[in-house]
Amino acid sequence: DDDHPWWKEAVVYQVYPKSFNDSDGDGIGDLAGLARRADYLDDLGVDAVWLCPVYGSPMADNGYDISDYRSIHPAYGDMDDWRQVRDVLHERDIRLVMDLVVNHTSDEHEWFRRSRREEDGYADYYHWWEGEPDEPPNNWESIFGGPAWSYDEARGEWYLHLFDEKQPDLNWRNSAVREDVHGMMQWWLDEGVDGFRMDVINLISKTEGLPDGDPEAGLTGAEHFMNGPRVHDRLREMHDRVLDDRDLLVVGETPGASVADAREYVGPNGDGLSMVFQFEHVTVDHGDDKWTTADVPLAEFKEIIAKWQAGLADEGWNSVYLSNHDQPRMVSRFGDDGEYRRKSAKLLGTLTHTLQGTPFVYQGEEIGMTNAPFESPDELRDVEAKNYVERAVEHGEADCYEDVRETVEATARDNARTPMQWSDDTHAGFTDGEPWIECNPNYAEVNVERARSDPDSVLSYYRELIALRHERDLLVYGEFELLAPDDPDVFAYSRRLDGERGLIVLNVAADATSFDVPAEVDRDGLELVIANADDAPATVPATLDLDPYEARVYLTP
């Protein structure tokens, strides 16, 4: 029904196709490879797959630079392979959510080729600006570093790109652009997709006249393109024309969105999105930018989570994630990828599956995959990381790669993109050829085959968590309340739904600790349902003695 749509009760699994499973030995994952893993996903128990872009693309940003929205990149297969994926998933009651990248296209998209030639009807498809070739139209910065403008010799004008120069921003003021996008979405819906993950959808509307941004305020220009002036009109139009009355999961990626912004995108009076991906909790360890990071401050992290839980509790809905293809591996960042790898991976999974909202599991998270070493800049594949290293050396912040290596290894998106570790075979069983990016050398220890037959593995624990989530409405819908907000090590909270109650206690530290259950918690009737330690007591004592990274979930029956 309307209050209980499938996507609130779902656990979503994110697939980064290039690194998931290669069926033909070219070193690049593909759709046939994904189809072969349908049973794996079914066995894990997930309800939907979000598939990152597989469309025609020159791959300047691994498919987030689309040159043809209605075809499949040949390295991934073709439309028949895509339909095969759709069918094998649907046969197992797993829905398929596609990535929708419409803030920008590739510069190799036909629309851009026509636009740069100023062909009839296409001249205004992008943000073009006249001016001298040595003076960009404004001071906006690209999210991948450097100016957000490039000069196009062919047209003799500047064009805007909030990401790479090969990703020109579409001009959403142009109704022909909007109609083309709607038509394309309709086409995919007719193919049977169950929803969209909308890439940087809150960047599509720019301030009229494209004025300079405040150079002191983080990313220069952001106040003119994040959650911009017409973004809600655009989304409402899209909703009314394309999305209305379908049973879809629509999740908008919205960097920089506050709780107040999110309430305008989702919820009963919102723009019709099911949920958004907010970024506050995954930027909590950033300094001036993502390349100046610190340890995660737990108290602040808890406060952010609690704020979002409360802010969207009655109107709207949260997505819950700690990792994706743009973030370092969660166990390396929020847990411990050494001695406590398994334990802390289970703890973090416990967190994402016991908050209110829809959990997203990123491929490899369920076996506790970690960040990888990148010994030389030649091992990096991501445009963002490569730009960063180049600029750091160019601007004299570093003499050589070694000076920034630690930062890169802690932060680069490549960490999330090393091949899925299926087994201890060559290249982790990912490919029979040479993988497009090196495997994490720890694959002999960290792999699906090994985890599968081990009841204590991270994988077995995830399977249990997902099953528990499906069994208990309390975990999906129950009200969240943060306990002991100032405790610097323990993340504890309660859940409540009608007569049902839950208590979740997570020791997010590498030291043992004890936790006094706050007086407001009624310990009576609570029973242990899952924990990452063998000796956790079955009922709730007044004081919990917790091992490093110990996680416990107590629920009323």
CB 413, min distance to ligand TEU, A: 6
Q: Which residue is listed with tokens 């030995």?
A: 25
CB-CB contact of 389 with 409 (8 Å): no
Residue 102 CB, nearest approach to ligand TEU (Å): 10
What residues numbered 321-380 form the site for ligand TEU, per CB under 6 A?
325-326
Residue 179 designated active-site = no
By CB under 6 A, tell whether 502 contacts ligand TEU: no
Q: What is the residue-wise DSSP string for 355-419?
A: SSSEEEEETTGGGT-------SGGG---HHHHHHHHHHHHTTS-SSHHHHHHHHHHH-THHHHSP
**Whether the Cβ atoms of residue 359 and residue 320 lie closer than 8 Å to each other:** yes
Structure tokens at 144: 């991948």
Toward ligand TEU, which CB reaches closer, 325 or 381?
325
Q: How many Å apart are CA 143 and CA 19, to the nearest integer?
A: 24
Q: Which residue has the tokens 């072969």?
A: 36
Q: Tell whether residue 384 is a contact of ligand TEU (CB under 6 A).
A: yes
245 CB-near residues (< 8 Å, 6+ apart): none
Cα separations in angstroms, 158 against 61, 256, 259, 340, 482: 21, 26, 35, 51, 50
Q: Which of residues 149-188 bind ligand TEU (CB under 6 A)?
A: 163
Residue among 22 and 199 whose Cβ is closer to ligand TEU:
199
Shortest approach of ligand TEU to residue 325 CB, angstroms?
6
Residue with nearest beta carbon to ligand TEU: 64
DSSP annotation of 422 reads: -
Mark whether 199 is an active-site residue.
yes
Q: Map the footprint of ligand TEU across residues 109-148, applying CB under 6 A.
A: 143
The helix or strand, by DSSP H or E, that contains position 307, with its residue range, turns out to be: helix 298-311
> Applying CB under 6 A, does 388 fall inside the site for ligand TEU?
no
- Candidates 66, 88, 100, 101: give the one binding ligand TEU (CB under 6 A): 101
| Cα separation values, 155 from 116, 123, 150, 536, Å | 5, 10, 12, 68
The least distance separating ligand TEU from the CB of residue 99, rounded to whole angstroms, comes to 8
CB of 97 to ligand TEU, least distance (A): 14
Among 56, 195, 221, 255, binds ligand TEU (CB under 6 A): 255
Q: Which is nearer to ligand TEU, 59 or 348 (CB)?
A: 59
> x/- string (CB under 6 A) for ligand TEU, residues 401-430?
------------x-----------------
Binding residue (CB under 6 A) for ligand TEU from 22, 30, 47, 61: 61
Other Cβ atoms closer than 10 A to 499 = 8
- As a whole number of angstroms, the distance between CA 402 and CA 18 comes to 28
Positive or negative CA dihedral for 30, 31, 36, 37? positive
* Cα separations in angstroms, 513 against 404, 510, 544, 548: 35, 9, 8, 8
CB of 458 to ligand TEU, least distance (A): 24
Q: At what angle do helices 458-471 and 341-353 cross, to 10 degrees?
A: 10
Nearer to ligand TEU, 7 or 163 (CB): 163
Distance CA 220, CA 207 (A): 14
Q: Which of residues 267-306 bind ligand TEU (CB under 6 A)?
A: 290
Q: How far is the CB of 314 from ligand TEU (least distance, A)?
A: 28
Q: 503-542 mask for ligand TEU (x: CB under 6 A)?
A: ----------------------------------------
Question: Exactly one of 11, 102, 200, 250 binds ligand TEU (CB under 6 A); which one?
Answer: 200
The active-site residue, picked from 199, 337, 365, 366, is: 199
Please state the closest distance from residue 280 (CB atom) to ligand TEU, in A: 12
Q: Is 64 in the site for ligand TEU (CB under 6 A)?
A: yes
| Minimum distance, C-beta of residue 414 to ligand TEU, in the bound complex (Å) | 11
| 219 vs 531, beta carbon nearer ligand TEU | 219
Render 448-469 in DSSP notation, one character per residue. Answer: HHHHHT-TTSHHHHHHHHHHHH
Is the CB of 166 or the CB of 472 nearer to ligand TEU? 166
- How many residues make contact with ligand TEU (CB under 6 A)? 14
- Considering the complex, state which of residue 222 and residue 546 has its C-beta at the smaller distance from ligand TEU: 222
Nearest C-alpha neighbor of 391 from the set 381, 401, 379, 378: 401
Per-residue burial over 197-224, b = 16 or more CB atoms within 10 Å of its CB, e = otherwise: bbbbbbbbbbeeebeebeeeebbbbbbb
65, 141, 164, 253: the catalytic one is: 253
What the block records as the tokens of 461 is 């624990």
Tell me, letter by letter, the H, E, C secondary structure of 85-103: HHHHHHHCCCEEEEEECCC
Is residue 216 helix, strand or coil?
coil
What binding mask, one character per residue, do residues 204-243 give for ligand TEU by CB under 6 A, x or -?
Answer: ----------------------------------------
User: In terms of C-beta density within 10 A (0-12 exposed, 13-18 middle, 19 or more buried), how is residue 32 classed?
Assistant: middle
- Quick one: angle between helices 175-190 and 231-238, nearest 10? 40
Report, in Å, the least distance between residue 188 CB and ligand TEU.
18
Residue among 257 and 483 whose Cβ is closer to ligand TEU: 257
Nearer to ligand TEU by C-beta: 165 or 253?
Answer: 253
28: exposed, middle or buried (Cβ count in 10 Å: 0-12, 13-18, 19+):
buried
By CB under 6 A, name the one of 152, 157, 199, 550 that touches ligand TEU: 199
Q: Which is nearer to ligand TEU, 200 or 348 (CB)?
A: 200
Contact residues for ligand TEU (CB under 6 A)?
A: 61, 64, 101, 143, 163, 199-200, 253, 255, 290, 325-326, 384, 413
Positions marked catalytic: 199, 253
